[in-house]
A and B are shown apart, each in its own frame.
Chain A
Amino acid sequence: MKLEIRNKNREFLALIEINSGGVNFIDTGSDSSFRKFVIGALEKGIPEFREEEENGIIKILERLVIPPDPNFPLIFKNFIERNGYSVLDERALAVRKEIELILSALPDSNDKKLILEKIQKLFYAELILVLRELKD
């Protein structure tokens, strides 16, 4: 699973690949504090949550996951989301590619240049909105 990580101000932090064995930083230009956060979290274990209903009470259960673990990719993705990071998964990256492809078929213009720049900072929902408009 490939993820692009951004902060809430849309600044790029890292491009990572997660598999059951752990996390790989693809981009060497990744943000050092994010890298530190990931390394620290992996040392402690990543919390995974479940809920169970018992006698009308929902129990919140937790376990700490340290790779290798078959469910690690999504557990880790959810963990970084909970900690305030914005995540673009492969579906979001595919939408961005599709927008770029549609734009590449159009003649060059200032508007096209601006759109190409701006979409690099968009989140999943926003990318979908732009794609909808372009296909309309």
Chain B
Amino acid sequence: MKSKELFSNNQIQQERIVKESRKLKKVNKLLNLIFLGGLTFLASGCIGLDTSGRFNEAKPSFSIEMPISKEEKPKKKLSKDSEREKDTNDEKRESIISSFREKHMEEFQALSAMKNKEEKLKEVFGGLAPNEAGHYLVYLEGEAVDQYYGFDIWQISPEMTAEVFGLKREIYGTQEPALELTGLETIDGEISPEKLRDLIQTLPQHWVNGEVSSIKQIDNKGDMEYRDGIKWTTVGGFRRESNKDSHTGQIVFYYESRYYSFGEIMKTVYHEMAHANDWDDDDDVKYNDKLDLLIKIADRISAPDRYLSEYVESIKRDTPEKTRYTEALEYWAEICSIYFSNPANLPLPDIEIVDWWIHKNDQNFDSAAQLTRRDGLLANLGDKASIGLAQR
């Protein structure tokens, strides 16, 4: 009996050693891949990963109450005859509404799923959370009622449909103005417009085309102001136009930006471009995906392993919801700018999120290859002696 037990223990131990050895070999293979491809491997492994956890997409619900406001509901005094008439009408009404729902089943399903996501976001961001699906759902329910009463109150505009089911690009048109660039002077030298264009071409093209129309450095000096005895200088700005003719952003750097390094100025460009490609502004991504992005970022801003940005960490607004929403906007812009400049400094979940978002539209974008190209371009920019502005 004892020798049997001993044999069994030896077997277990042997199996454990084999298992551990296999695991070590696997880890070693992983490390070889990392050293071989660096972040190429990381990035390609990231696509499709989900940051589920706190925010689980709830199952779509179909128990939608039809909201009929008092103004729209016909007011009648009911006699016995009219009560009978009402019963028949109720049946007729239900039948019309239910056939409307059946006809629009897919829309109702999709909207309910999106509305659930909006509700989750509302818990974090309060009234600042997006509410397009909930709004659309009210209109769709209204249309169902209209079918019965023969009203034409709840009209869904093509803009609303495009906003929720399509792309903002459909509202604002497809014009993609050529990117206007000036040279950028830095303490490291000058980035000529041609070199800046080369650098921009290393970014995912959906992030640039139709999202940002100009990057300029101008001679104007930025405003200065003192707050609590501290001098703050405006060194640049980002203007986003939102109208039928134009829905692109313009990045401007003022004179003071000439004291920045290549790295600093390009990080600012990436940061502002990220704003043009967030859940609020991106014209090329569907609303449902935008909700997913905001859910992922909402999760990250309070994660213990989040990327530590002094700017994001110090954000304070007059309500907790406003603070959290601003943190989300700026956290997104910060992790994008690190992703494009030096992703080694990002926690893995953030690399995964940015990578997932980029590949929504730029499926063939090779993050690591473009990073290497970008680094190469930045290493060979300008004549360092030509500027001589190292000291302010």
Enumerate chain A interface residues (CB-CB to B < 8 A): 6, 8, 44, 47-51, 56-63, 71, 74-75, 77-78, 81-87, 89, 91, 106-107, 109, 111-112, 114-115, 118-119, 121-126, 128-130, 133-134, 136
- How many residue pairs link A and B with beta carbons under 8 A? The number is 147
Min Cβ gap B274→A in Å is: 12
In the bound complex, what is the Cα–Cα distance between A62 and B231 (angstroms)?
8
Is B267 interfacial (CB 8 A cutoff)?
A: yes
**Contact (Cβ within 8 A) A125 B308:** no
- Which residues on A sit within 8 Å (CB–CB) of B343? 125
Q: What are 8 A-B contacts with C-beta separation under 8 Å? A: A48-B311, A49-B268, A56-B239, A59-B234, A62-B256, A111-B27, A119-B31, A129-B45
In the bound complex, what is the Cα–Cα distance between A106 and B17 (angstroms)?
9
Partner of A81, one of B28, B39, B345: B345
**Contact (Cβ within 8 A) B31 A118:** yes
Min Cβ gap B265→A in Å is: 9
Is B180 interfacial (CB 8 A cutoff)?
A: no
**Contact (Cβ within 8 A) A126 B42:** yes
Min Cβ gap A131→B in Å is: 10
**Contact (Cβ within 8 A) B233 A84:** no
- Which residues on A sit within 8 Å (CB–CB) of B26? 133
**Contact (Cβ within 8 A) A57 B348:** no
- Chain A residue nearest to B21 (CB atoms) is A109
Sample of 18 further A-B pairs with CB below 8 A, known A62-B233, A111-B24, A115-B27: A50-B232, A56-B240, A58-B237, A58-B239, A58-B240, A59-B237, A62-B232, A74-B309, A74-B313, A75-B310, A77-B310, A81-B338, A82-B341, A86-B345, A118-B31, A123-B344, A124-B348, A125-B348
Enumerate chain B interface residues (CB-CB to A < 8 A): 17, 20-21, 23-28, 30-31, 34-35, 39, 42, 45, 230-240, 256, 260-261, 263-264, 267-268, 272, 275, 304-305, 308-311, 313-314, 330, 338, 341-348, 351, 375, 390-392
- Which residues on A sit within 8 Å (CB–CB) of B309? 74, 78
**Contact (Cβ within 8 A) A86 B238:** no
In the bound complex, what is the Cα–Cα distance between A52 and B88 (angstroms)?
60
| Majority DSSP secondary structure for residues of B touching A | helix
- Which residues on B sit within 8 Å (CB–CB) of A133? 23, 26-27, 30
